Structure 1
Amino acid sequence: MKGFSFSVLFVVLLGVLIASQTLFVVKETERAVVLKFGEIVREDVQPGIHFKLPIMNEVKKFDARILTMDSRPQRYLTLEKKAVIVDSYVKWKIDSVAKFYQATSGDEFVANRVLSSRVDTGLRNKFGERTMHEVVSGQRDQLMTELRDDLNQVAQSELGISIVDIRVKRIDLPPDVSESVYQRMRTEREREAREHRSKGLELAEGIRADADRQQVVLEAEAQRDAEMIRGDGDAKAAAIYSKVYTQDPEFYEFYRSLQAYRESFSGSNDLFVLEPDSEFFKYLNGSTRGGTK
């Protein structure tokens, strides 16, 4: 019984060993090639369980997902010979597993190194054909699209990979250029500030002059209205006086004389040089003569 159990265990182990040497699994995120003594005999092996010949065949697996190559910031010159520091990255994936293996021996580092060199050359050429404004905002998307299309053809033919996307993360000016640019921007902002201040002062002077003009107009109109009201009041007063005078001329003349006396002798130092029988003392003289009688 023990011999039978040992035989079964031996057969199982032998089957596992044979299976491990003849079967291999390719995951959904992988692609593979099968080699026979270093020569590719099966290209682009799809996900699943596959067979191989022990010893004779070797399986190489590669990541089939989209990979990212983050390049180091590089210095480029624009059309105006202005230097910029560009930080970019590339999204790529394996398109032909066999060609990728032949070009890089399946080493992603080798692929990134070659791809980085191609991207650097492409960016240098594209930036050299455009102005600073175009690479920063005007034609940035167009530049990336053209570079992706051009580089994709080269990458597929040389490395067996396809370029999914190329993007510029940021564009900076070199430190020596940044200071001069900031100084120029500062000068420009100060000039604009002076222009705004001068325009503000001009508007203030206009508003102040208009306010002064309106003040003069309002005062003149008020003075005119006051004179008109005063004239109307004087006219009404004269009409009332005339009406009263016609009703009793003697009383009106007497009342006006009393007012004249009151206003004339209101001060203690007032002095008049008049004839005693002057018309001004008409009622005073009449009162004296009446008192004597």
Structure 2
Amino acid sequence: MQRLFPALIALAIALAVLSSSIFVVRERDLALVFALGEVKESISKPGLYFKLPPPFQNVVFLDKRLQTIESKDPERIQTAEKKNLLIDSYVKWRIADPRLFYVTFGATDRGAVERLQAQIRDALNASVNVRTVKEVVSDQRDAIMREILTAVEARARPLGVEVIDVRLRRLDFAPEISESVYRRMEAERKQEANRLRATGAAESERIRAAADRERQELLADAYAKAQAIRGEGEGEAAGIYASAYGNNPEFYRFYRSLEAYRGSFSSPDDTLVISPDSEFFRFWSQTDESETNR
């Protein structure tokens, strides 16, 4: 029993040393192996690894997953027109060089987040300060994001950080200029509405004038045709009258006298003061004589 006890102690010590010499690197981790305070090895591939037991060697793990930095409060950035915009952004990043990252920020990513936020703020100011509100909001928004990504990526690379993407999520006017912007937009819309009304009124007058001109042309053409047809009819009627007069002049004179009587006595109240022996009543006198002879 006395011989077994030292063997068990030795086995326990060996197991403790062995367990402290084995470490596992997971898929989401980066590992830095330190020997007496200096980085001896950087490991990025997952697996089972061995090292010397402490205090000779120890391991520090870093997160190699893609991480996101979202601004808690929108940044107040001034445009080239001296107008303030509230810009909300986010950045995607990860550790590219664990050795540089650890030397710069240590084992936590708080320092990296603060440094990247400051770099994004500087890049935002540099890109937005030289542009107008319209360019920032719509025309050149993609170009601004590319500029910020390029600037932040170049400044973050020496720190062991790889910047993957930078996005501007929301752009709003500062409260003090929102009202003036809305008033200007309202005035522009009213001006455009007035312009459209004036254009419509001018077009309406043009269409109305064209329609009136076409109406006058149609009436004139119809009147000319009617006069031509009337002239042809009157000429044809005159020819018929002349032919009838030539065939039987006495009957023609009688017919014309009847038309004159009909026109003169069209109303029961019509009265003529004229001599019975006048030429107008010639056929009436002949009628009376014929009745007397009978």
Question: TM-score if structure 2 supplies the norm length?
Answer: 0.87
Instruction: Give how far 1:190 is off.
Output: 0.6
CA distance in 2, matches of 1:103, 1:88: 24
Instruction: Give how far 1:16 is off.
Output: 6.3
Partner of 1:292: 292
Letter of the 2:35 counterpart: K
Partner of 2:58: 58
Partner of 1:93: 94
CA distance in 2, matches of 1:248, 1:45: 135
CA displacement, residues 20-53 of structure 1 (integer Å, 9 cap, x when unaligned): 3222121223211012343322124432211012
Partner of 2:76: 75
CA displacement, residues 237-289 of structure 1 (integer Å, 9 cap, x when unaligned): 22222222222222222222222223323333322233332221221122223
Secondary structure of the equivalent of 2:186?
A: helix
Letter of the 2:41 counterpart: R
The answer (yes or no) to whether the contact 2:30–2:42 under 8 Å persists in 1 is no
Unaligned ranges ≥5, structure 1: none
Partner of 2:178: 178
Letter of the 1:90 counterpart: V
Letter of the 1:36 counterpart: A
Instruction: Give how far 1:192 is off.
Output: 1.0
1:291–1:118 Cα change, 3 Å: closer
Partner of 1:202: 202
CA distance in 1, matches of 2:119, 2:220: 84
What is the count of residue pairs matched by the alignment? 285
Partner of 1:248: 248
Letter of the 1:149 counterpart: T
Instruction: Give how far 1:19 is off.
Output: 4.6
CA displacement, residues 188-217 of structure 1 (integer Å, 9 cap, x when unaligned): 101111111122112212222222222232
Question: TM-score if structure 1 supplies the norm length?
Answer: 0.87
CA distance in 2, matches of 1:46, 1:267: 126
The answer (yes or no) to whether the contact 1:35–1:59 under 8 Å persists in 2 is yes
Moved more, 283-292 or 82-91: 283-292
Report whether the alignment pairs 1:133 with 2:138: no
CA distance in 1, matches of 2:121, 2:260: 113
Secondary structure of the equivalent of 1:162?
A: strand
Partner of 1:109: 110
Moved more, 264-273 or 185-194: 264-273
CA distance in 2, matches of 1:53, 1:43: 15
1:263–1:126 Cα change, 3 Å: closer
CA displacement, residues 28-85 of structure 1 (integer Å, 9 cap, x when unaligned): 2321101234332212443221101222322112221221111231001122211111
Partner of 2:220: 220
Moved more, 184-193 or 283-292: 283-292
Unaligned ranges ≥5, structure 2: none
CA distance in 2, matches of 1:210, 1:45: 83
